[in-house]
Amino acid sequence: MVRQRVRIRFCKQGDLRLIGHRDLMRCFERMARRAGLPLAMSQGFHPKPRMTFPLALAVGIEGTNEVMELELTESLSAEEVTGRLRSQTPPGLTIRSVEVLPQGGKKAEVRSVCYQMPIPSPCRDGLPEKIDQLLARASHPVQRPNRTTPFDLRPLLQELALREGVLSMRLRTGRQQSARPSEVLEALGLAAVELQGAHLRRTAVEIDA
């Protein structure tokens, strides 16, 4: 059986940002089936399409350059897969690109992610100083509810800046630990900023492949 793996870059925006990861997976499965793509299936009593998302996107966050991988049982060109999928995308989901991966290549592993958030004017007072203070710290312990010991946020925070009212951050990810953008917002005293109408946007998923 032919086993072709393709990497898809896509956007998840608008009202679609409010659906969860499982719903997004079902959405992609329905799209692929309606597009007539020959999906490879897992083994067992409940076979499922062989698709992976290297890093799930939390509910409420837009993604402008997300990544997922899909396995097919026929060899199709990137242009063919792109055209078929684009004909079936719902509002809020855009197929940016499709790449056919070489046989035997490893699956994508995320090394860092980038986020942006427009900060309302009243919340910007003193924010540049808070950013400088956070970046100047050697460590910043964070206690998560499901952990018995805190972890250090600071080594995972690679970039942090406020430019023209937009907060940008780059966070390192890994198999052992990954930072959450909400934890950076809390460290800056911005935990409640979303209540004022702002929302996060993930602008890049940077992978090792």
What burial class does residue 157 get, using C-beta atoms within 10 Å of its C-beta: 0-12 exposed, 13-18 middle, 19+ buried? buried
- How far is Cα 140 from Cα 183, in angstroms, rounded to an integer? 10
pLDDT score at 144: 86
What is the SS3 assignment for 147? coil
Handedness of CA 93, 98, 103, 109 (dihedral sign): negative
**Cα–Cα dist 97/105, whole Å:** 19
Place of tokens 């086993």: 3
Overall residue count recorded for the chain in this entry: 209
Q: Kindly report the backbone phi and psi dihedral angles of residue 115, in degrees, each rounded to the nearest multiple of 5, phi listed first.
A: -130, 155
> Both tokens of residue 108?
């994508």
What's CA 32's distance to the chain center, in Å?
20
pLDDT at 108: 83
CATH number for the domain running over 109-208: 3.30.70
**pLDDT score, position 135:** 97
Give me the CATH code for the 4-100 domain, please: 3.30.70.580
Greatest extent of the chain over all pairs of C-alpha atoms, in Å:
61
The CATH 3.30.70.580 domain(s) of the chain lie at 4-100
Look at residue 50 in the predicted model and tell me its pLDDT.
92
How confident is the model at residue 109, as a pLDDT?
Answer: 87
Tell me the pTM.
Answer: 0.91
State the pLDDT at residue 209.
63
Query: CA-CA distance, 117 to 166, in Å (whole number)?
Result: 6
Q: What is the pLDDT of residue 1?
A: 63
Per-residue pLDDT, 197: 81
What is the DSSP secondary-structure string of 148-172?
Answer: SS-EESGGGEEEEEEETTEEEEEEE
Three-state DSSP state, 132: helix
Task: Kindly give the confidence (pLDDT) of every residue in the chain, 209 residues in length, as a single tens digit, with 9 standing for 90 and above.
Answer: 678 999 999 999 999 999 999 999 999 999 999 999 999 998 888 888 999 999 999 999 999 999 999 999 999 999 999 999 999 999 999 999 999 998 877 788 899 999 999 999 989 999 999 999 999 999 999 988 888 888 899 999 999 999 999 999 999 987 667 889 999 999 999 988 888 888 999 999 999 86
